[in-house]
Amino acid sequence: MGKVVQFKRQTVAQRHKGNTLCRSGFHKWIVLKEKQFDVKQGKLITAYQCTRCAKIKTKAL
């Protein structure tokens, strides 16, 4: 008979790691270099993406 393998369950803290800060409005923004021009507005923009939740925000220059 084979060995029984125990699966490791994730704790609540491991499952929701990083999401609680973003839900409270404390995102960790980085600048996206790919998107620099918005065709619809016809303006230069700066696109930011949160490293924790992958939310994207834009800011027109």
Work out the pLDDT band at 7, boundaries 50, 70, 90: confident
Residue 43 domain flag: yes
CA distance linking residue 14 with residue 41, whole number of Å = 41
Asked whether the predicted pLDDT for residue 19 surpasses 90, the reply is no
User: Residue 37 and residue 46: Cα distance in Å, rounded?
Assistant: 8
- Angstrom distance (rounded) from CA 17 to CA 23: 12
- The per-residue pLDDT of the chain, averaged, comes to 84
Which residues span the domain enclosing 57? 28-61
Residue pLDDT, tens place only, 49-59: 999 888 999 88
Give the total number of structural domains in the chain. 1
Domain membership of residue 39 (yes or no) is yes
Asked whether residue 50 is assigned to any structural domain, the reply reads yes
Are residues 25 and 1 in contact, defined by beta-carbon separation less than 8 angstroms? Answer: no
Look at residue 49 and tell me if it is in a domain. Answer: yes
- Cβ atoms 50, 22 nearer than 8 A: yes
| 41 inside domain | yes
Q: Is residue 44 part of a domain?
A: yes
